[in-house]
Amino acid sequence: MAPVVLVTNDDGIHAAGLSALADALGDLGEVFVIAPDREQSAVGHALTLHRPLRAERIGERRFSVNGTPSDCVNLGVLGLLREAPALVMAGINQGANLGDDVTYSGTVSAAMEGTLLGVPSVAVSVENPDAGYAEAARIARLIATRVLVEGLPPRTLLNVNVPAATPKGIRLTQLGHRVYKEKIVEQTDPRGRTHYWIGGGPPQWDRSEDTDMAALHDGYASITPLLLDLTHFGALARMADWPRALTAQYKARPRGRKR
């Protein structure tokens, strides 16, 4: 029986990148599209817990959900699909998801949710959607084919970014670091009340040659393996004496009087 592949995104069910990705994966298995009914960019790993979710069937193996990308993966893996998918593919996102931005990205978070549920998962983004999705879809299909055969290490997902121009090749990279300056834009509405926009100003980014940002800058597609275990093992070693010292301080503190 053909493997089940779940495709989702954060740009919404009608996004061109979603259709390009689903079409590219069409002959790899039974492809189901479960995506938000509207744009959910930068929602991160949010789950909807305080209102009911509805999944509207809008085509064969195609569902629109009034929730987040992580909701869509949850519904697919735990409820809507006839069996657990062999692969979750999120994208193709309109714009790159590089460096620290993965912590905000709904696209990457959808792949994180798939990984948490035990399904090999890949997030795919393209630097400039105006250039089209053909090359990103082609690379996504190549990676999906390999993941279906080889799988991924436990608690690991792939974050893929494709440059605007035809890629020179593909690099294995690490996350870069980028900082946004002038991130808050303050404005006044017609009634004289102040409001704010988050996200103004171009980012400054780490140009280390092994990063995802450097790969895109050089014209290469990047594949960055992301590990969901956020534990800093180096810090554990450096902080080894903290528990004893803090415990001693805690026990030595003056205690309040009992009433």
Model confidence pLDDT, tens digit, residues 105-146 = 999 999 999 999 999 999 999 999 998 999 999 999 999 999
**Residue 142, pLDDT score:** 98
Confidence of residue 78 (pLDDT cuts 50, 70, 90): very high
Give the mean pLDDT of the chain: 92
Lowest mean pLDDT among 46-60, 186-200, 226-240: 186-200
pTM: 0.90
Q: Which fold has domain 4-177+206-232?
A: Stationary-phase Survival Protein Sure Homolog; Chain: A, (3.40.1210)
Question: 3-state secondary structure string, the chain?
Answer: CCCEEEEECCCCCCCHHHHHHHHHCCCCCEEEEEEECCCCCCCCCCCCCCCCCCEEEEECCEEEECCCHHHHHHHHHHHHCCCCCCEEEEEEEECCCCHHHHHCCHHHHHHHHHHHCCCCEEEEEECCHHHCCHHHHHHHHHHHHHHHHHCCCCCEEEEEEECCCCCCCEEECECCCEEECCCEEEEECCCCCEEEEECCCCEEECCCCCEHHHHHHCCCEEEEEEECCCCCHHHHHHCCCHHHHHHHHHHHCCCCCCC
Tens-digit pLDDT profile for residues 153-211: 999 999 999 999 999 999 999 999 877 666 778 899 999 999 988 765 667 777 688 99
Q: Give the pLDDT score at 44.
A: 86
Higher pLDDT, 209 or 25: 25
Give me the pLDDT at residue 235, please: 97
How much of the chain, in percent, has pLDDT values that exceed 90?
81
